[in-house]
Structure 1
Amino acid sequence: MSLFPTYNRFPLTIVSGNGTKVTDDNGKDYLDFVSGIAVCNLGHRPPIVQKAIEEQLNKVWHVSNLYEIPIQEQAAEILSEAADLDYVFFCNSGAEANEAAIKLARKHTGREKIITFKQSFHGRTFATMSATGQEKIQEGFGSLLPTFEYFPYNDVSSIEEVHDGHVAAIMVEVIQGEGGVVPGTKEFLKKVEEKCRELGALLIIDEVQTGIGRTGKAFAYQHYGLDPDIVTTAKGLGSGFPVGAMIGKAELEGSFQAGSHGSTFGGNPLASAAVKATLQEIFTSDFLEEVINKGKAFKRKLQESLTGFSSVSEVRGEGLMLGVAVQTEALPLVHSLREKGLLAVVAGPNVLRLLPPLNVEYEEIDQAVTLITEVIRQQEASLQKA
């Protein structure tokens, strides 16, 4: 092996994919409810996105951001309009989008401190690792950046006690993804927004996992009626093509002038073609309404089917970003589901995370519910025998 062992890989090699299905190197088919961890929001190889990339491949792959890139402008216009914001900076990943947001907030306000939340996840670069409220992400790398402070998530009273004139921004996920698929309460998120206005700080919402239709809105903060200054997104933005974006309000433009930030590959023609085609498909009222309907059906069916299992604590989440909280280790469930032909992933040690493509069929949802119920039943039976 010539790779650093930075991933605990499953014994699975996927060689092809189409829509919600993937096939391994032994010819076995799987229903994919991981979607590359909320990346393949239109499933694998969506025809409309594949066509757009192929057309761009036959024109030009990459040019420097020193030149005009019309398709990048077109993608930015769709993205900023959906977010009800004004300007976009394209990069290559969610971590890079959050790096840009941190830099912009500090430069615009002239302040250094940024508040984030315990169990949050914002990336693995040095700044975004420092922003992340999980010790397991930070262990072994020495002193972190000292300008981040972590508060309890969904704790209104702790936010009310912040009276610090040095805060540049509060960065928050409206649903903590890696932290366990934990939705923020409306009261808490509104208090975060109010505190930003009180302090003259910026509100940064990390939508890397929740954005691009995953919860049934273009962005999850739109369920709460929030008014962010900066939004970051990636994962589902390019249907698997590596791309991220930071979106911000017009008044921030003067703080990100030429030379203040940049990205060699960010928003190049291939990435922009993938983004434009993806957003044109997802950002329609009919598509997003169907995501909401499917998400409600999936959540309801899971709750009904899992009622009575002592190991199941809760089914939570929004749209097609759901978590089954269990009182046992969730990873054995992932292994058992894979053996039965359903791919899922964990969110922390005790949450089974389900992220199907947004165009999943109702019959596939039913199939997944049946398999999840089956493996939980088997796990409980084996634990009782032990």
Structure 2
Amino acid sequence: MPLFDVYPLYNVTPVSANGIHVYDENNTEYLDLYGGHAVISIGHAHPKYVEAITNQVSALGFYSNAIQNPLQVELADKLEALSGCDGYNLFLCNSGAEANENALKVASFKTDKSRVVAFKNGFHGRTSAAVAATDNPNIIAPINAQQKVTILEFNDIEGVKTELEKGDVCAVIVEFIQGVGGLDQATAEFYEQVDALCKANNTFFIADEVQSGYGRSGKFFAFQHYNVTPDVISIAKGMGNGFPIGGILIHPSIEAKYGMLGTTFGGNHLACAAGLAVLNTIEDENLIDNVNNVSEYFNSIAKTIPQIKNIKGRGLMLGLEFDFEVGDLRKKLIYDHHIFTGGASNKKLLRILPPLTIAKEHVDQFFKALKKELEAVEV
């Protein structure tokens, strides 16, 4: 049976990985500066992570949410302590798309409204309402397009005000650092005014932290760089270091009701073991401090390279913008230098999303390769 052909693939076949490196069937070593779409947070095959999953699956891998699962409580408590989101409640699911779907569902339930405001170049997932709120018509099927969504420009505070005052918007959803869209950020004033407008108009403010959360921005969540209080925070990618897990943090003012949300696999024992291993490693190895230290070093070098026209993002969620499309450059980096990087809807942007364990020598290796390729382009 052939695979449904929806992914353009690089001719690389990873068979193992360790730390910040991936190895193919020929044992060729690749430097992973993309982390599988920012999923690998604490490094490939981290020993504490492997031990936690191994021990859990040998004891109890899965049972449904119809029974007590103390691991969920332990995960929620640890997440509250490390994130600083005091009093929020946790609902666990399996992916970022599910997280945003449930965030929007809670908002609609609680406001009794159905329209969503989202932003240009935003990406929130591929499920029903999440994909409708994504600014990419190519992945929105007619069944998704039935959702009522208004897409605005970043920093258009008058547009947000106008839409919210119409009285039918259940939620404003925002990536504080856009991922697929190209690492764009709005101003602090804009985010803070949107937060205030939401609170004045019975509208939920949803922080999509699926990619930017778990320390990647240099704080536990990217919204914490601003003076805002989201009603719901969606999480996934780096949460499980490769194991499928997602969730939403729900403000304590929002009351739960039996049956409001549900999932078969969400918050299963194995997923919680993976999630706890990630949080414990972030804490034990001071990985958020490492994010900030390595990010500063990365930026200091990037600023010296004249071909780089713009450095975007925060922490280890970075983009290097050039005056040419980077598709060929990415191929050169992967095939000639054995370095994984990422692309974006902005075709001139090279995305850097490494494991949070990255060291300065890995940054040096990347820039040595990049400079060589940029020099070749000029010649």
TM-score, length basis structure 1: 0.93
Query: For 1:181-196, what aligned pairs fall within 5 Å after superposition?
Result: 181-196=183-198
Residue in 2 that maps onto 1:158? 159
Percent identical across equivalent pairs? 36
* Residue 106 to residue 143, structure 1, CA distance change in 2 (3 Å): closer
Name the structure 2 match of 1:18.
18
Aligned to 1:366, the other structure's residue is in SS state helix
Q: How far does the alpha carbon of each residue in 1:346-373 deviate from its partner, in whole angstroms, 9 at most, with x for none?
A: 0122211001111111111111122122
CA deviation after TM superposition for structure 1 residue 285, in Å = 9.2
Q: Which amino acid aligns with 2:137?
A: E
Bigger Cα displacement from structure 2, 50-59 vs 181-190: 181-190
Work out which of the residue numbers 333, 338, 341 in structure 2 matches 1:341: 338
Change (3 A) 1:198 1:377: farther
Hey, what does 1:364 align to over in structure 2? 362
Q: What is aligned with 1:48?
A: 48
- Structure 1 segment 96-175 matched on structure 2, within 5 A: 96-138=98-140, 141=142, 144-162=145-163, 163-175=165-177
Provide the rounded CA distance (Å) in 1 between the counterparts of 2:270 and 2:323: 44
Aligned in 2, Cα 1:137/1:299: closer, same or farther, shift over 3 Å? Answer: farther
Runs of 5+ unmatched residues, structure 1: 382-386
Find the counterpart in structure 2 of residue 301 from structure 1: 301
Tell me the secondary structure at the aligned position of residue 58 of structure 1: helix
TM superposition shift of 1:296: 1.4
**Is the CA contact 1:127–1:145 (under 8 Å) kept in the aligned structure 2?**
no
Matches within 5 A, 1:192-271: 192-254=194-256, 257-271=257-271
CA drift at 1:45: 0.8
Question: 1:119-139 deviations in whole A, cap 9, x for unaligned?
Answer: 10000112111011222322x
Structure 2 gap ranges (5+): none
Q: Give matches, 1:1-80, under 5 Å.
A: 2-80=2-80
Aligned-pair distance for 1:303?
Answer: 1.8
State the AA in 2 paired with 1:159.
V
Asked whether the equivalents of residues 299 and 316 of structure 1 are also in contact (C-alpha less than 8 Å), the reply is no
Q: Secondary structure at the match of 1:251?
A: coil
Shift of 1:51: 0.9
Kindly state the Cα deviation for residue 159 of structure 1 after the two structures are TM-superposed.
Answer: 2.5
Secondary structure, aligned partner of 1:376: helix
In 2, the alpha carbon distance for the partners of 1:334 and 1:242 equals 27
| Contact preservation (8 Å) 2:206, 2:232 | yes
- What is the CA distance between 1:172 and its match in structure 2? 0.4
Post-superposition CA distance 1:168-212 (Å, at most 9, x none): 111000001000011232122112112111212111000000001
SS at structure 2 position matched to 1:89:
strand
Task: Name the structure 2 match of 1:351.
Answer: 349
Q: Is the 8 A contact 2:129 2:144 kept in 1?
A: no
Q: Helix, strand or coil: the match of 1:227?
A: coil
* 1:384 alignment partner in structure 2: none
Is the 8 Å Cα contact of residues 100 and 208 (structure 2) preserved in structure 1?
A: yes
Displacement of 1:141 after TM fit?
4.0
AA paired with 1:53? Answer: I
CA RMSD between the two structures: 1.6
> In structure 2, do the counterparts of structure 1 residues 187 and 151 end up closer, same or farther at CA, with 3 Å as the change threshold?
same
In structure 1, C-alpha distance between the alignment counterparts of 2:176 and 2:117, rounded to whole Å: 15
CA distance in 2: counterparts of 1:41 and 1:114, whole angstroms: 30
- What are the residue-to-residue correspondences of 1:265-284 with 2, within 5 Å? 265-283=265-283
Residues in 2 aligned to 1:37 and 1:8: alpha-carbon distance in whole angstroms: 15
Q: Partners in 1 of 2:162 and 2:309 — Cα distance? A: 31
1:176 to 162, 178, 202: 178
Query: Cα distance, 1:223 vs. partner?
Result: 1.2
Q: 1:225 to 1:290 in 2, by over 3 A?
A: farther
Task: Quote the residue 1:376 is aligned against.
Answer: 374
* Aligned counterpart in structure 2 of residue 327 of structure 1, from 320, 323, 327: 323
Does the 8 Å contact 2:128/2:144 carry over to 1?
no
Secondary structure of residue in 1 paired with 2:31: strand
Deviations 1:265-306 (A, max 9, x none): 0010000000011012214694312211111111221121x2
Instruction: Provide the secondary structure at the position in 1 that maps to 2:23.
Output: strand
CA distance in structure 1 between the partners assigned to 2:7 and 2:87 by the alignment:
36
1:366 alignment partner AA: D
Question: Contact (CA 8 Å) 1:156, 1:187: kept in 2 or not?
Answer: no
- The one-letter code sitting in structure 2 at the alignment partner of 1:154 is N
Aligned partner letter, 2:63: V
Matching residue's letter, 1:144: A
Larger displacement relative to structure 2 (151-160 or 188-197):
151-160
